[in-house]
Homo-oligomer: A and B are copies of this chain.
Amino acid sequence: MNSFNPPKRILMGPGPSNVNPRVREAMAKPTIGHLDPEFIKLMDEIKGLLKYAFQTKNEVTFAVSGPGSVGMETCLVNLIEPGSKVLVCINGVFGGRMKSIVERCGADPIVINISWGKAIDPQLFEHTLKKNTGISVCAFVHAETSTGAKSDIKTLTEIAHRNNTLVIADTVTSLGGIPLMIDDWNIDISYSGSQKCLSCPPGLSPITFNERAIESIKKRKTPVQSWFMDLNLVLSYWGGNTKRAYHHTAPINSLYALHESLLILKEEGIENSWKRHQANGEKLVQELEKIELKPIVKENERLPQLTSVSLPEGIDEAKVRSTLLNEFNIEVGAGLGELAGKVWRIGLMGYSSNEKNISACVNALKNILGK
């Protein structure tokens, strides 16, 4: 058995995206202790940079030591208790995952099902909220990674607050890629992932809680069912004011990488990053339409960082993806769930979002499909 030498792929799937060499270099720096004062300083810088990325002043903003799914579960297990009523919007895989977690908490999910590929309908959302009493939390996805649809979470949050519920927003694929304003939009809780528009290797989940959310957690009557995800315990390590105490051993080198990827975002400027993603997403759709690959999401609900296209008639879609990967070193994503076998998901996230990649991918598809 030998050391692993990965092929050099152009990552244009639903994530991970390609990682800037600066970030990989940061990740390879010597490991230091998780309570080393120099590491604590780094954690503070990461918190500051994450506040910038989330556009928030929330003190409780940090990186969960696990992938986005752990971020999702952390938000839900801290906010809900057995018997809580939670409104869950399902317009793709990740809403469904939230529902499953709500059930595992012994809580009661009230579900809104929306066609995959569509945004969450604010009217239906408000109607469902009014029809059901006692809902304490609403959970929805900003950028559905399984479909490429964007929901208007600013409006959804306004509606939720008018109906006295907190909101949890999944921003795994949106953070850094499309406008997301945690404070201006009054979003109570949000979690994201490192490997999408931040272009950091996977394994960390940026997360943020506002004061209203923290107050709600303080009023819990039952313990959080997960020890690892219990915010009260995690904050003894990541919290701001007190001496940092050991909770778990943080993934030191992964946090070096996150720090560097957030620095790169700040250097570019988050508005510029949003503009770049938007421009490249539009360009990709134009080019794909020329070879008759049509996006499944309508224009005003379409994510620029992730485009799902319908498949041409009569092709072996897995074979095309495998040719793309093996002959062109380009990865695109297959359909998931309801959309399995029906779409490709083409990502332009973070460091992967550039014109060179658009040309490479479209030319390769032209070649394979004989267009």
Contacts and interface: CB of A to CB of B under 8 A. Distances in A.
Contacts of A48: 1
A32 B49 contact: no
User: What copy number does this chain have within its complex?
Assistant: 2
A332 to B, nearest CB: 10
Given A1-B263, A3-B263, A249 B8 contact: no
A327 to B, nearest CB: 14
A55 interface: no
Most buried by B among A8, A36, A202, A249: A249
Given A66-B70, A249-B193, A30 B42 contact: no
A324 to B, nearest CB: 12
Contacts of A257: 253
Contacts of A227: 69, 73, 97, 100-101, 104
A33 B13 contact: yes
B28 A266 contact: no
A253 B27 CA distance: 9
Given A201-B254, A259-B4, A27 B28 contact: yes
A36 B325 contact: yes
Contacts of A223: 103-104
Contact of A3 (B3, B26, B34): B26
Contact of A336 (B25, B193, B246): B246
B68 A65 contact: no
A217 interface: no
Interface string A25-59: 11111111110111100100100110000000000
A4 B29 contact: yes
Interface in A194-216: 195, 201-203
B9 A22 contact: no
A16 B3 contact: no
Contact of A202 (B104, B249, B259, B331): B249
A308 B69 CA distance: 37
Contact of A16 (B34, B70, B195): B34
B252 A45 contact: no
Contact of A224 (B68, B104, B202): B104
Contacts of A100: 227
A362 to B, nearest CB: 19
B201 A252 contact: yes
Interface in A221-254: 223-228, 246-254
Interface in A173-207: 193, 195, 201-203
A60 interface: no
Contacts of A73: 226-228
Given A73-B228, A104-B226, A251-B202, A4 B31 contact: no
A11 interface: yes
A95 interface: no
A248 B67 contact: yes
Contacts of A331: 32-33, 36
A237 to B, nearest CB: 11
A225 B225 contact: yes
6 contacts: A3-B22, A15-B249, A16-B33, A65-B70, A202-B250, A203-B252
